[in-house]
Amino acid sequence: MSDKASIHAMTTLQVRGIRKSFGKRAARKEVLGGLSLSVADGEFVSIVGPSGSGKTTLFKVIGGLEQPSEGEIWVEGKQTTGERGHISYMPQQSALLPWQSVAGNIELSLAISGLDRKAAKLKTKEWLERIGLDDYADAYPHMLSGGMLQRVSFLRALLAPQRLMLLDEPFGALDALTRLQMQQWLMSIWDQNRRSVLLVTHSIEEALFLSDRIIVLSASPAVVLEEFVVPFERPRSEALWTNPLFNELKQQIYELLKAGGKEANE
């Protein structure tokens, strides 16, 4: 467990002046317009932005699937621009192999992420027990509910040896109640194993509830409009939703998004 004192000791992710355009000549469209942000070690950072603001592209660039037109990506103090395998990832859909059991899925991903088979197996077993999913270890994904699948998917990302986790709208496909439960569940697990997290979400509440810092993006071409430090103590509870400061921040971010979206449309 990393302690809180070391949070700012090292940056896990640095995105430096990333630009990315698609298409050629007249049809050329800039999606990322010189984007810079960072995630410190053990820090939970959220990105919110109007839809179509290039968040998916940003994740692809960080993950090395897309080469940026300009700028650099640094992960754990090394330049990794265009390189794969430096992050762990949780997509919106759980993306579990239907022919592998729950445990098999986690083990396979850990092996791909660079853990040796034995360690992967041990770690999977230990953590499935820890989060109370050991009964489902041998079940196939189609036997699980949407919320369960996302728990497995999150665990799979959490156990990977990479320090940085990218969460791509992990609860976007869940119903409202499951979503709230999952946020609290995620918080409690993350508290036990603090990794650096970069979360993309459409929900301002979700970002406020989970994050240390929120980065608001403009519509495309995306740039950072503003950053908010979220001042609430951890561990956080549902009581937060009625906190006046919580609602004030929510309003501020909402206004910002609205204005940013308008500008781009004009």
Partner 1 sequence: MAIRKSGWAKAWPPMAVLAGLLACWQAAVTWGKVDKWLLPSPLAIVQEAIQIWPRLMEHTEATVQLTLLGFAGGSAVGFVLAALLHLIPGFRSAVYPLLVLSQNVPIIAIAPILTMLLGYGLLPKVLLVTVVCFFPITVAMLSGLSSPDAQLRHYFQMIGIGKWQLFWRLELPHAIVHLFSGLKISASYSVLSAIVAEWLGTNKGLGAFMLISFKGFMPDRGYAAVFIIVTLSLTLFGLIVLAERIVIRWQPVKEVE
Interface residues toward partner 1, by CB under 8 A = 59-60, 63-65, 84-89, 91, 93, 95, 97-100, 108-109, 112-113, 140, 142-143, 160, 166
**CB nearer to partner 1: pick between 95 and 187:** 95
- Min. distance of Cβ 148 from partner 1 in angstroms? 15
Q: What Cα–Cα distance (Å) separates residue 70 from each residue in 190, 236, 241?
A: 33, 39, 40
- Min. distance of Cβ 232 from partner 1 in angstroms? 30
Q: What Cα–Cα distance (Å) separates residue 26 from each residue in 3, 21, 30, 66, 154?
A: 51, 12, 12, 21, 41
If 0-12 CB within 10 Å is exposed, 13-18 middle and 19+ buried, where does residue 210 land? Answer: buried
**CB nearer to partner 1: pick between 76 and 205:** 76
Q: State the DSSP string of the chain.
A: ---GGGTTT-EEEEEEEEEEEES-GGG-EEEEEEEEEEEETT-EEEEE--TTSSHHHHHHHHHTSS--SEEEEEETTEE-TT--SSSEEE-SS----TTS-HHHHHHHHHHHTT--HHHHHHHHHHHHHHTT-GGGTTS-GGGS-HHHHHHHHHHHHHHSS-SEEEEESTTTTS-HHHHHHHHHHHHHHHHHS--EEEEE-S-HHHHHHH-SEEEEEPSSSB-EEEEEE----SS--GGGGG-HHHHHHHHHHHHHHHHHHHHHH-
**CB nearer to partner 1: pick between 89 and 228:** 89
- Min. distance of Cβ 155 from partner 1 in angstroms? 14
- Min. distance of Cβ 80 from partner 1 in angstroms? 10
- Min. distance of Cβ 140 from partner 1 in angstroms? 5
**CB nearer to partner 1: pick between 3 and 99:** 99
- Min. distance of Cβ 46 from partner 1 in angstroms? 18
**CB nearer to partner 1: pick between 160 and 174:** 160
**CB nearer to partner 1: pick between 53 and 109:** 109
**CB nearer to partner 1: pick between 54 and 63:** 63
- Min. distance of Cβ 89 from partner 1 in angstroms? 4
